[in-house]
A = this chain, B = another copy of it.
């Protein structure tokens, strides 16, 4: 959506911001993917790598913020150029947070790997992560091409993520009730699942920002986005 600017270097500055966002996005996706792999395979080395990678996103956000301020002050952009820059600030903040969530999953690898779990729990977590990462990837693609037409899927898929998370929440509670020895690890898995669900929310935020950058309008509100896990009550069968 970038139009021609009188100044060629202004175009290059905007391109710098967009490229840096793309780099942050790719790294955030990989971190989450690797954090979940580390969890499933009890791979403490891979978890360590994810934790270290987070610095890249922190640095990326700082750099984009600094650059954005400089560009606004120097170029005094209006309308779509200004939205472009404000959009970069917002998206980098969401991506930085996705990285934090990935790191938080990685940090739980050791506590989770102390116990054995049925394969279905991990499969549920992997499926949830896959869906959230697809959402993030598609939203970042829409940002790269500045196309709001491609954002129709976002709300529906966020609902799917929330439903899958709520079902995993229920499954983890049940598993904890079956055997108290599962409680610690499953609690950490619950937080991992919640983190992944939040990554879906950040993808939705990014979609809203893309919509705003391209159209200058707020994305029309839809059903309220929320997971239903706060209502879940699973009764224990025995008094233990």
Contacts and interface: CB of A to CB of B under 8 A. Distances in A.
A177 B173 contact: no
B177 A231 contact: no
B238 A180 contact: yes
B69 A180 contact: no
Interface in A200-240: 218, 230-240
Interface stretch (A71-79, A125-133, A155-163): A71-79
B233 A114 contact: yes
A188 B236 contact: no
A65 to B, nearest CB: 8
A108 interface: yes
B89 A78 contact: no
Interface residues of A, number: 48
Contact of A230 (B108, B176, B190): B108
Interface in A165-181: 173, 176-181
A178 B89 contact: no
Highest count of chain B CB atoms <10 Å: which of A62, A180, A239: A180
A115 to B, nearest CB: 9
A180 B240 contact: yes
Interface in A79-120: 79, 82-83, 86, 89-90, 93, 104, 107-108, 110-111, 114
Given A69-B83, A180-B237, A240-B240, 17 more contacts: A69-B82, A89-B89, A107-B231, A111-B231, A173-B184, A178-B240, A180-B180, A180-B238, A180-B240, A181-B235, A181-B240, A184-B232, A187-B187, A187-B190, A188-B230, A191-B194, A191-B230
Interface of A: 62, 65, 68-69, 72-73, 76-79, 82-83, 86, 89-90, 93, 104, 107-108, 110-111, 114, 173, 176-181, 183-184, 187-188, 190-191, 194, 218, 230-240
17 contacts: A68-B86, A69-B83, A69-B86, A72-B72, A173-B187, A176-B187, A177-B180, A177-B183, A179-B236, A180-B236, A181-B235, A181-B236, A181-B239, A181-B240, A183-B183, A187-B187, A190-B190
